[in-house]
Amino acid sequence: MAIHDVLIVGGSYAGMAAALQLARARRSVLVLDAGQRRNRFAEHAHGILGQDGRAPSAIADDARAQLLKYPTVTWIETVARFVGRDGDTFRVQTETGDAFEARRLILANGVRDQLPDLPGLAERWGRSVFHCPYCHGYELDGGPLGVLGVNEMSIHQALMLPDWGPTTLFTNGIVEPDAEASRQLAARNVSIEAEPVAELAGEGEATVHLRDGRTVELAGLFVVSTLEPASPLAQQLGCAFEESPVGRVIQTDNMQATSVPAVFACGDTARAAGSVTFAMADGAMAGMAAHKSLIFGEAA
Ligand SMILES: Cc1cc2nc3c(=O)[nH]c(=O)nc-3n(C[C@H](O)[C@H](O)[C@H](O)COP(=O)(O)OP(=O)(O)OC[C@H]3O[C@@H](n4cnc5c(N)ncnc54)[C@H](O)[C@@H]3O)c2cc1C
């Protein structure tokens, strides 16, 4: 079996940015990708210099076409299930039982968004229900906007949003702003709605139906999603994780090295507040760092 220089799990923005640096260093790179980009629910991606407003898939397709022109890149559409290590070599097994070996590993497998269990919410995710105002706030044309209270981070989200439009915080029986938070919300002109939310339904983009029968028409509803790693590989390897207010991310240093020698991580799986731009930057760093470690050793 050929031993690749680097095996990358995840072929989206972070994984491809890592692969590009390695391909340009003429190293053999194997990308295993399940094709489930986190932003696949959104029609357009925003806030990415030079790509603003393009479809997420168009950005990824162009990147992949450019990457696959390099002869040392191999791409396989599959799910990586298990990883083990034999001395200096990693062995990754896929869902179909195929196994691949490499001297360095880059985890770029992203995260899964855990959404609150509210009828009508999941099908609006990425269309009129969002987590990130920088990505989708501008397109909501000044509001009105809502924040669905799910945890203390919802207060932070509600304090941010008035720059994008008049904002209502639906506390939903879960979020209870203390005196200081109430003062801050009032200073930002955030309205508070204490009646629990029953569902999102109807013709409107994000029409909130309250339990008492009232409805509130919104241009967009924001919700804090809880993140979990999209693959178990980091855990199988024994990588250290960091707790963040939105979930666990793989701990990395400023070269994207994890706590496990020769394993690097980049993109959303290693950063709590991710974006395409950050994923690409972290991916480029991971690719360069993995390359340097092949030359100078793991501590390079
Ligand atoms: C609804 C929504 C809209 C968004 N809009 C924007 C926006 O407009 N602008 C912006 O900058 N950011 C946006 N984001 C954030 C953006 O999607 C992420 O920051 C970005 O996708 C992270 O890139 P990544 O490469 O780290 O992970 P991802 O893009 O999530 O890619 C991870 C890849 O790894 C693969 N993978 C996972 N596990 C395995 C495995 N075991 N084996 C093989 N492959 C695996 C996945 O299938 C996927 O292809 C949005 C997010 C959401 C949820």
Cα(241) to centroid(ligand 1), Å:
19
pTM: 0.96
Residue 89 one-letter amino acid: T
Helix axes 13-24, 56-67, angle to 10 degrees: 20
Cα(181) to centroid(ligand 1), Å:
32
Residue 128, ligand 1, Cβ within 6 A: no
Shared domain check, 262 and 215: no
Residue 250, ligand 1, Cβ within 6 A: no
Cα(39) to centroid(ligand 1), Å:
6
Residue 27, ligand 1, Cβ within 6 A: no
Residue 276, ligand 1, Cβ within 6 A: yes
- Give the pLDDT confidence score for residue 204 in this predicted structure: 67
3-state secondary structure 138-185: HHHCCCCEEEECCCCHHHHHHHHHHHCCCEEEECCCCCCCCHHHHHHH
Residue in 194, 186, 187 with CA at minimum distance from that of residue 170: 194
- Give the pLDDT confidence score for residue 12 in this predicted structure: 98
Tell which of 172, 190, 223 closes a domain. 223
- Give the pLDDT confidence score for residue 300 in this predicted structure: 44
Count of domains for the chain: 2
Residue 33, ligand 1, Cβ within 6 A: yes
Shared domain check, 266 and 236: yes
Residue 80, ligand 1, Cβ within 6 A: yes
Question: Which residues constitute the domain of residue 244?
Answer: 3-112+226-296
Residue 110, ligand 1, Cβ within 6 A: yes
Give the CA distances from residue 132 to residues 100, 180, 188, in Å, rounded to whole numbers and listed in that order.
Answer: 36, 24, 18
Here the CATH number for the domain that contains residue 190 is 3.50.50.60
Cα(206) to centroid(ligand 1), Å:
24
Q: pLDDT tens digits for the chain (300 residues)?
A: 799 999 999 999 999 999 999 999 999 999 999 999 999 999 999 999 999 999 999 999 999 999 999 999 999 999 999 999 999 999 999 999 999 999 999 999 999 999 999 999 999 999 999 999 999 999 999 989 999 999 999 999 999 999 999 999 999 999 999 999 999 999 999 999 999 999 999 776 789 999 999 999 999 999 999 999 999 999 999 999 999 989 999 999 999 999 999 999 999 999 998 999 999 999 999 999 999 999 999 754
Query: Of ligand 1's atoms, which has the minimum distance to the CA of residue 60?
Result: 29
Tell which of 185, 205, 223 closes a domain. 223
Residue 277, ligand 1, Cβ within 6 A: yes
Shared domain check, 93 and 218: no
- Give the pLDDT confidence score for residue 74 in this predicted structure: 98
Shared domain check, 120 and 105: no
